[in-house]
Homo-oligomer: A and B are copies of this chain.
Amino acid sequence: MTDSLTAPAETQAVLSYLTGLQQRITDAVAAHEPEARFVVDEWQKPPGELLQGRGRTMILEGGAVFERAGVGLSHVRGPQLPPSATQHRPELAGAPFEAMGVSLVFHPRNPYVPTVHMNVRMLAALPAGDSAVCWFGGGMDLTPYYGVREDCVHFHQTCHDVLQPFGDDKYPRFKQWCDDYFYLKHRHEQRGIGGIFFDDFSEFDHARNFAMLQAVGDGFLPAYLPIVQRRKDQAWGERERSFQLYRRGRYVEFNLVWDRGTHFGLQSGGRTESILLSMPPQASWAYRRGEQPGSAEARLYTDFLPRQDWLAA
């Protein structure tokens, strides 16, 4: 995405990385899809709105492997940082800002392939006559329907390994942050088996903060694609489909009720179709659906959703 909004070199470099990341990820997904294609929707906020910005939404629907795969890139600029963003940096209050990120959710067709979410983003304050101050956030997390221990360990191991160069503390902190964030309080349930999540990150200098963001973004395909490869041809039927649709209802509940980006985005006039890229293509609800104790469905609740250390020896 060429972009005339941005002046500082730091933010231009991040935008360029994000643009390339969206392309690499959608290329990798498209390679699994003999028929379906990504629709590319370039959008721009109408002139005159307070927040100016543009984005590129890429979405594949009705694929052979992915029933719905949305990858959004957005870049917005506003005249004044909101107070919530400058609580710890009062000298930046009211500064112009830019926010940019790539966000994706993939809903596979085969119930044995987990749903996945990944996001990398940067918020830059641009105080007049001074250099940009940038914070980073993001992460990735996995939501299986039928848990497979090997897949969960692989996903977490990859998250661990990409963060390792940035310090021993990063994976455990961001893993717990993810568990805390992706929790459905009204169900007393985790959304999935977690992964990593971080926000407002600026512990290193800009170059190293950005390097960590890149490590996470670049880690997504190696964390997820091998799981898709292993499970996509596993046979499934009505039973698995029914459980998948029911569990996707939880995904909807989390995103619309608890996810701050989604809930406040919709309430505050964000671009609805981009925000709701995360919605599953289909979902279902049933009253007090119970699972046969010991069944594969019941094991999701007993063996996979409860928080645990996936990398314990």
| A residues in contact (CB < 8 Å) with B | 39, 41, 57, 59, 61, 68, 70, 185-187, 245, 249, 252-253, 256-257, 263, 266-267, 269-270, 272-273, 275-277, 279-288
Contact = CB atoms under 8 A, between A and B. Distances in A.
A68 B70 CA distance: 30
A185 B279 contact: no
Copy total for this chain: 2
Contact of A187 (B252, B253, B272, B282): B272
B287 A277 contact: yes
A286 B41 contact: no
A256 to B, nearest CB: 4
Nearest to A282: B284
A147 B276 CA distance: 26
A287 B273 contact: yes
7 shortest interchain CB distances as A-B pairs? A256-B256, A279-B285, A186-B266, A282-B284, A186-B272, A59-B287, A256-B257
27 contacts: A41-B287, A41-B288, A57-B287, A61-B287, A68-B285, A70-B287, A185-B267, A186-B266, A186-B267, A186-B269, A186-B270, A187-B272, A245-B282, A252-B256, A252-B283, A256-B256, A257-B266, A273-B287, A273-B288, A277-B287, A280-B285, A281-B284, A281-B286, A282-B282, A282-B283, A282-B285, A283-B284
B253 A257 contact: no
Contacts of A270: 186
A309 to B, nearest CB: 28
Given A186-B272, A283-B282, A287-B277, A257 B249 contact: no
A270 B68 CA distance: 32
